[in-house]
Amino acid sequence: MKIFRLKSLEEITAPSVIDLLSYATPAEAVAWVRSGGPALTDECVLHLRRLGIPEPVRELRFHPSRRWRFDLAWPTWKLAVEVDGGTYARGRASGHTSITGMARDREKDAEAAILGWTTLRIDAVHVKDGTGADWVRRWIEANAL
């Protein structure tokens, strides 16, 4: 396994999206400039890269019979990140905040736990300020090194 050095959130101040683009590949940067900026999951990956965390697998199908996928996953560690967009929908229930959406998320999380996965759920605030990436860093330090 490749040795890497994790950086703590305290070592790095929360950057703007422009600062984060220095961690993007040229193709990613061009696509994001054309589309108006990175999606939440892409922005989360930039924060992870910035902290020196190995690249996750995206959209990993983890369940043997269900079509569930993790937004970001590290299969070696059985660590997954679910980026919940739309959690601040100004009083309107959205995918992750409706009763049905929350029930689906709990079912997916429970089935993942039964299979031995740890799932960290982060929302837009935790992506933007880098807290979600720091949770991943701290989990890795506590469990995987």
- Assigned token pair, 19: 């600062």
pLDDT at residue number 96: 54
Residue whose C-alpha is closest to residue 18's, from 41, 46, 45, 40: 46
* pLDDT tens track for 81-117: 999 976 554 555 455 557 787 899 999 999 999 999 9
How far, in Å, CA of 132 to CA of 26, rounded? 24
pLDDT at residue number 111: 97
* Domain ranges for the chain: 39-143
Superfamily of domain 39-143: VSR Endonuclease (3.40.960.10)
CB-CB contact of 77 with 141 (8 Å): no
